[in-house]
Chains A and B, each alone.
Chain A
Amino acid sequence: MTELSLQNNVKKKTSGINLRRKPRWGEVIIQALLFFSGFFSIFVTIGIVYELGKEALLFFQMPEVSILESLTTTKWQPHTGNFAIWPLVTSTLLTTVLAMLIAIPLGMSVAVYLSEYANPRVRNILKPILEVLAGIPTIVYGYFALTFMTPLLRDILGKDVVQIYNTASAGLVMGILILPLISSITEDALSAVPRSLREAAYGIGATKLEVALQVVVPAALSGIAAAIIVGISRAIGETMIVAVAAGAGPNFTLNPFVGAETITGHIVRISGGDLSYDSVDYNSIFALGLLLFIVTLTLNIISQAIVRRFREVYE
């Protein structure tokens, strides 16, 4: 009898407590807000693709623009109806190649030096210096290119060879800008190579250089390739250095010592004035922006794919 009443008692008590999960509306709302924040970046991408695509489409639908012509002729002069993309592309390639000629060898050597040679004390001094170099606004590099690199080139090569505005000084300074980017990604890749690999190489009598160049660098190759591709993408999209130092006006040339406008430089110059909506100029910056976006996005995706696919995994 007492047992039964006890059981009843327990039943009575627990029946008051609902052990099912309570819906907490506050939590649900917060979670929805957080999801919205996460999803916001998708809106940004959609916005970029939609706006660039829409206006670029309008550009190509304009009577004076034809895609075929813009790929086969060599003049970009919106006011006379010439829209050949090549002058802008060649100068973009020119500055990018020059920048990479500086940034790849220097950036990789700096990375090898920091990760394989430098002792911790030196590294603790050098790394912040490189970070400072990476943190300087690009407009400051533009000033540097125009007031230091250009006069330097003109003193060395002669004032009749090098114009006041030229792609060479812009490219060289851009190389310095990209150096810390390449060196830091490469250094991360190099230091991810396990110690045991280095010790095995030392064990069979390799010198420090042979360990660095024949063991560590090949093992980190995927990271290095990714660094280079990210560097190229950065160089193509770099704007203020070329806007300040590379000169105004598209110029179909491969001579690095004369002025020529890059894609980004052109966008900046065109939009710097008062731009009226739906004009040819207005739509053309969207078409150029779309080209820029596609190229840099492709490069970034390739670099991520390289890292994912070719990463050497060590136990």
Chain B
Amino acid sequence: MKEKAVVQGFADNLDVRSRRGVLWHMFFQASTVVGIVTLIALMLNIMNGAFGYVAYEAKVDPDTLAVDGTPVKNQSKEQLVALLRSTLSSGAFNKLEKDKPFEARSQQEVYQLVIDRIIQPQIVEVWSLWSSLTQRDEIRATIAKDHPGAELDFVSWLNPNFVKRPQTSEPLTAGVRTAILGSLWTILFTILLAFPIGVGAAIYLEEYASDNWLNRVIQTNINNLAGVPSIIYGILGLAIFVRTLEPLTSGAIFGLVDPTTANGRTVLSGGLTLGLLVLPIIIINAQEAIRAVPRSLRNASLAVGATKWQTVWSHVLPTALPGILTGTILAISRAIGETAPLVVVGASTAISFDPSSPFSKFTTLPMQIYQWTSRPQDEFRSLAAAAILVLLVLLLSLNAFAILLRNRFSRRM
């Protein structure tokens, strides 16, 4: 009798309980969907900025430059060079000739010069991809009414020229070559500092360190450093690399003072700062890779009389290498995306020449994005969106490479 009542009570409750279960299940699922939706929104938002209509007014109407009915675009190289010679001051023309002789330039390049130097288009207004697609007629009507002389073009801000051109203050001709090269130079020094020391530290901690207080302190310290905000590393870099080690980072002790360098705010300082930042990440990842190497491998090597270092060098490291490289690549992609420490270290933003040595002033891709995003005009936001696409493609290919390595690694084990 009593037993039946208990079962009865259990069954009474069952409906509510399972309904509650379904509701919460939906909530959990919805949270996951929110994450995915945000990622999609983020990507669409960037796409939205990177393409769209641009209305611009030319300083010189291209139609007036036509010769015998041939529009500028289709004129031969010689005609275009003659046009440049007659329009530009001889000083400006000679400078172009000195940068790269006109004989070596293609028709395309010379045409680009004509656009940049003579036609000089000025942006009137910029539209996002979404409004370009949905309100095409309205946009045409407004432009026809407000700016009758303006040209309306559908522009992909991300284009081959965008990657090839240096930075300029004109949105239509600005590019990210300077920033990409700056990023690569910086990363080179990041790797040179962080990879050997990081792997060395991981080998020490996993293979050599005994369990005493000093080694425990080192391990705890590394874990804590991994959690220090990146901007603190920027402040450290400013104090140590830019200020204290200025003779080294500005190249002065090598007698290589570049007249354009501003003190120690150079590629070298930036790269070393990022190196300190990713060092703990590389150490932790490398430690995991080394720990995954089976004990038996070491024992076999030691048993045939190899020394400790011979064992590490010819057995442990080769086996752990794919894992170490994967971890390093992930750390490097973190460094490529970092902005805050470089702002503090003093990467310049308005740089139009490529870095040429460790002691050059520099800008990087994220710095360039930051600078363009902080400007209020829409055209710079569009440039930022295009630069973000370049950055994401760069990071994506690095990560794909890391995944490839990881897959090869797991197949072999």
Q: Are A and B physically bound partners?
A: yes
Residues of chain B contacted by A41 (CB below 8 angstroms): 201, 218, 221-222, 225, 279-280, 283
B135 interface contact, C-beta 8 A: no
CB pair A277 B243 closer than 8 Å? yes
CB pair B399 A135 closer than 8 Å? yes
CB pair B373 A139 closer than 8 Å? yes
- Distance between Cα atoms of A295 and B338 in the complex (Å): 22
Within residues 224 to 240 of chain A, which ones have a CB less than 8 A from any CB in chain B?
230, 233-234, 236-240
CB pair A34 B240 closer than 8 Å? no
Residues of chain A contacted by B203 (CB below 8 angstroms): 34, 37
Nearest Cβ on chain A to B45's Cβ, whole angstroms: 4
A205-B217 contact given A41-B283, A143-B46, A239-B229, CB 8 Å threshold: no
A38-B200 contact given A24-B307, A30-B309, A209-B25, CB 8 Å threshold: yes
Residues of chain A contacted by B236 (CB below 8 angstroms): 44, 47-48, 51-52
A243-B370 contact given A38-B201, A45-B224, A51-B235, CB 8 Å threshold: yes
Please name the residue on chain A nearest to B368 by beta carbon.
A139
Contact of B369 among A143, A207, A209 (CB under 8 A): A143
- Distance between Cα atoms of A38 and B215 in the complex (Å): 9
Please name the residue on chain B nearest to A273 by beta carbon.
B346
- Distance between Cα atoms of A271 and B388 in the complex (Å): 23
A55 interface contact, C-beta 8 A: yes
Nearest Cβ on chain A to B279's Cβ, whole angstroms: 7
B204 interface contact, C-beta 8 A: yes
B340 interface contact, C-beta 8 A: yes
A140-B229 contact given A51-B240, A55-B239, A271-B238, CB 8 Å threshold: no
CB pair A264 B231 closer than 8 Å? yes
Contact of B221 among A45, A238, A292 (CB under 8 A): A45
Contact with B along A16-51 (1 / 0, CB 8 A): 000000001011001101111111111011011001
B392 interface contact, C-beta 8 A: yes
Please name the residue on chain A nearest to B403 by beta carbon.
A128
CB pair B217 A267 closer than 8 Å? no
Interface 9-residue window, one of B26-34, B163-171, B251-259, B351-359: B26-34
Please name the residue on chain B nearest to A144 by beta carbon.
B42
CB pair B373 A44 closer than 8 Å? no
A256 interface contact, C-beta 8 A: no
Interface 9-residue window, one of B13-21, B67-75, B100-108, B112-120: B13-21
A296-B21 contact given A113-B29, A130-B35, A142-B370, CB 8 Å threshold: no
Contact of B228 among A138, A286, A296 (CB under 8 A): A296
Contact of A286 among B209, B235, B279 (CB under 8 A): B235
Q: Which of B30, B199, B232, B283 has the most CB of A within 10 A?
A: B232
CB pair A271 B49 closer than 8 Å? no
B318 interface contact, C-beta 8 A: no
- Distance between Cα atoms of A300 and B280 in the complex (Å): 14
A285-B279 contact given A148-B45, A237-B230, A297-B228, CB 8 Å threshold: no
Nearest Cβ on chain A to B125's Cβ, whole angstroms: 17
Contact with A along B364-390 (1 / 0, CB 8 A): 001001100110000001001100100
On chain B, which size bracket covers the interface? 35 or more
Within residues 313 to 348 of chain B, which ones have a CB less than 8 A from any CB in chain A?
333-334, 336-340, 343-344, 346
CB pair A140 B31 closer than 8 Å? no
CB pair A268 B225 closer than 8 Å? no
B267 interface contact, C-beta 8 A: no
- Distance between Cα atoms of A289 and B228 in the complex (Å): 11
Nearest Cβ on chain A to B272's Cβ, whole angstroms: 11
Nearest Cβ on chain B to A47's Cβ, whole angstroms: 6
Please name the residue on chain A nearest to B199 by beta carbon.
A37
CB pair A42 B229 closer than 8 Å? no
Residues of chain B contacted by A168 (CB below 8 angstroms): none
CB pair A292 B232 closer than 8 Å? yes
Could you jot down 15 A-B contacts, CB within 8 Å? A31-B309, A37-B197, A37-B200, A37-B201, A38-B200, A38-B215, A44-B279, A48-B232, A51-B240, A109-B30, A109-B32, A140-B42, A140-B46, A209-B20, A264-B340
Assuming A110-B31, A140-B46, A285-B344, what are 11 further A-B pairs, CB within 8 angstroms? A38-B201, A41-B221, A106-B35, A109-B32, A126-B32, A129-B36, A137-B337, A143-B369, A144-B41, A243-B340, A275-B346
Question: Measuring CB to CB, which residues of chain B are less than 8 angstroms from any residue of chain A?
Answer: 10, 17-18, 20-21, 24-25, 27-32, 34-36, 38-39, 41-42, 45-46, 49, 196-201, 203-205, 208-209, 215, 217-218, 220-225, 227-232, 234-236, 238-240, 243, 276, 279-280, 283, 307-309, 333-334, 336-340, 343-344, 346, 366, 369-370, 373-374, 381, 384-385, 388, 391-392, 395, 399
